[in-house]
Structure 1
Amino acid sequence: MNMPDASRLAQLGDTLARWQVDGGPVHLHPGDLGWYSRLGPDETASAIRIWADGATPAAIGLLDGPQLLRLAIDPTRRDDAGLARRIADSIEDPEVGVFASGQATVEARGASALTRILGQRGWQEDEPWIPLRLDLSAPVQPTCTLIETIDEDRAGEWVGVHWSAFRGTPLDDVVRQTLVNRWLAMTAGPFAGTSRNLVAFDAQGRAVAVTTVWSAGPGRPGLIEPMGVHRDHRGRGYGVEITRAGAAVLREMGSSSAVVAAEGANTGALATYLAAGFVPATPVVDMSRGELEPRA
């Protein structure tokens, strides 16, 4: 296992892009690295772990916080027991630099050998997540809501809606500026060229919903991450509208499908994606050790 420096981020994004396939798992996507890059390229690189054979990555993980490792494995290696044991050994040894001792969760969708080995070592199944996919071979139904793709000069509108959607507390000027700076770091980072940032507006011109979408290149699944509706404007269909608009943008970028994963307990998000035309796949579970903690 090794950790990259920031100069390798674009290359790792390209590798992850090649691992995205229709019909495959909704696992770690280059868009996940792009969203994390709000913290800057050095911080993003420091959160990545690579398992490689020589110079060729076989698995790439993102430490999305100290207790959660999000993984993608080369599709040709998902049943490779030797690779799975190497990853499991790294995960369980605090000296290696993945997890400290104590509670930990591994998101290893599609990694059948690793999931099996972790289960044999006493790791438990976490709550289910639902992968959802929208085929983009045909045009996406147009939206009725005004939705715009925005640039840096409107970052404040985007982050204000996102904060309301996921935090729901008042947003003071200091926190807003911090979030804007992070958003600008993302849009100037190594993954910015694969993303588009959308805002939906109501009839009064107020920003009511946001999303960012990430392409993995032509003919591959694109990711919707994140999507949220302002708490004062829920229940009016804006989540469905912004999701469909994001999928349409991914189609324009050449994506074969749009993908997302939602917690099984998040009935609101699931209802939104289903109403937008997404088709659910078989639920998947993370593997956890120690006392489980809610995911943000």
Structure 2
Amino acid sequence: MSITLETATVGSLDEVVEAVASWQQDGGSVQLHPGDLGWNSSFGADALARSLRVWRRDGLILAAGMVEDGLIRMAVAPTVDRDESFAAQLLADLSDPERGVLPAGSASVEARYGAAFRELLHQNDWVADESWTPLRRDLTEKVEEWGLRIEIVDQSNAPERIAVHRASFPNSTLTLERWQAVAASAPYRRARCLLGYDAHDIPVAAATVWSAGPGRPGLLEPLGVHQDHRGHGYGKAISLAAAAALQDLGASSATVCTPTTNTAGVAAYASAGFKELPPTTDFRRKA
């Protein structure tokens, strides 16, 4: 059975998104999600496709990775979780710069799933890199009230959503055009962008939630509170609103992954009923 590596095309994006969506499962690690693809479509479908690497066996997609500045974020099908031959091919492709995945020298892999692949990385001198804390909230029970007025973002209030995002993440370069590209992406067909307003109708928090389909874990990406309005519980409130939106979309759970060093963020999610899971690290290849 032959394993092939290809760069995605605009025409194959729907197939890749659906494959990645189908691999999301409760009880597993929080791996690359359709929401990650959707948020990274802000530069357009062409740019997203160029960043994606797809591994097939006999035509069936079994792994996908999104390349960003010497880092590849991986999603692996549960059917090849312990497939050593498939894992060996992944490692070979990531290790050879001529394969067009990662450059020579220092590089990183986000591989939170795929037992055989992770073991091979360990065995081949890929060392622990940045630590991330995944959190998950079960959505089988009704989500409690959150205390913010929530609007679903559309063209009319998108500028406010962008302003909140840029005030939440000072290094952000999000623009109206880039938000429109996200909203036009294939993953956004099962997504919602939320904007939270305080008692004075001031926009103070925002989040985008991404469904992978009914009965599968949904993702919060991104979520932020305006830097001028922190310390009022709005992080908890927008997290609860995001969980409720995913529940309405049919998600089995709400998931998020944040840097372990982001202790305030971890605490906000925990206060909104998200269960903190064991931290996981990326893998880094030394230069």
TM-score, normalization by structure 1: 0.93
1:39–1:185 Cα contact (<8 Å) kept: yes
Asked whether the equivalents of residues 152 and 187 of structure 1 are also in contact (C-alpha less than 8 Å), the reply is no
2:187 to 191, 197, 217: 191
Question: Following TM superposition, by how much is the alpha carbon of 1:204 offset from its aligned partner in structure 2, in angstroms?
Answer: 2.1
- Measure how far apart 1:12 and its partner are: 1.1
Match of 1:23 among 11, 20, 27: 27
Task: Give runs of aligned pairs for residues 211-250 of structure 1, distance below 5 A.
Answer: 211-250=207-246
What displacement does 1:116 show?
1.4
Tell me what 1:135 maps to.
138
Cα deviation for residue 168 of structure 1 reads: 6.5
Structure 1 outlier segments of 4+, above 4 Å: none
* 2:69 counterpart of 1:66: yes
- The letter of the residue matching 2:34 is P
Q: Does 1:257 align with 2:260?
A: no
Identical counterparts, % of pairs: 41
Q: Which moved more, 1:246-255 or 1:182-191?
A: 182-191
Query: Residue type of the partner of 2:36?
Result: D
Residue 45 of structure 1, aligned match among 49, 53, 56 = 49
Q: CA deviation at 1:264?
A: 1.1
Question: How many corresponding residue pairs?
Answer: 283
How well do the aligned residues superpose, as a CA RMSD in angstroms?
1.3
Residue from 159, 168, 187 that aligns with 2:162? 159
Check conservation: 1:168, 1:231, Cα contact below 8 A: no
Q: Which AA in structure 2 matches 1:101?
A: A
Q: Which amino acid aligns with 2:33?
A: H
Give the Cα–Cα distance (whole angstroms) in 1 for the partners of residues 280 and 263 of structure 2: 16
Match of 1:150 in 2: 153
Which one-letter code corresponds to 1:121 in the other structure? N
- Give the equivalent residue in structure 2 for 1:82: 85
Give 3-state SS (helix, strand or coil) of 1:44's partner.
helix
The equivalent of 1:288 in structure 2 is: 284
Q: Which of 267, 271, 286 is matched with 2:267 structurally?
A: 271
Distance in structure 2 (CA, Å) of the matches to 1:53 and 1:40: 28
1:54 to 54, 58, 78: 58
Which segments of 5 or more consecutive residues in structure 1 lack a partner in the other structure? 170-174, 292-296
Q: Secondary structure at the match of 1:152?
A: coil
**Cα distance in 2, alignment partners of residues 106 and 26 from structure 1:** 14
Shift of 1:203: 2.0
Q: TM-score, normalised by structure 2?
A: 0.95
Deviation at 1:112, TM superposition (A): 1.7
Q: Which whole-Å deviations, capped at 9, do the CAs of 1:166-202 have from their partners, x for residues lacking one?
A: 1169xxxxx6xx6110001111122221110001112
What runs of 5+ residues in structure 2 fail to find an aligned partner?
none
C-alpha separation in 1, matches of 2:114 and 2:131: 15
1:36 paired to 2:37: no
Out of 14, 18, 21, the residue aligned to residue 18 of structure 2 is 14
Matched, 1:97 2:84: no
The aligned amino acid for 1:135 is D
Pair 1:108 & 2:104 matched = no
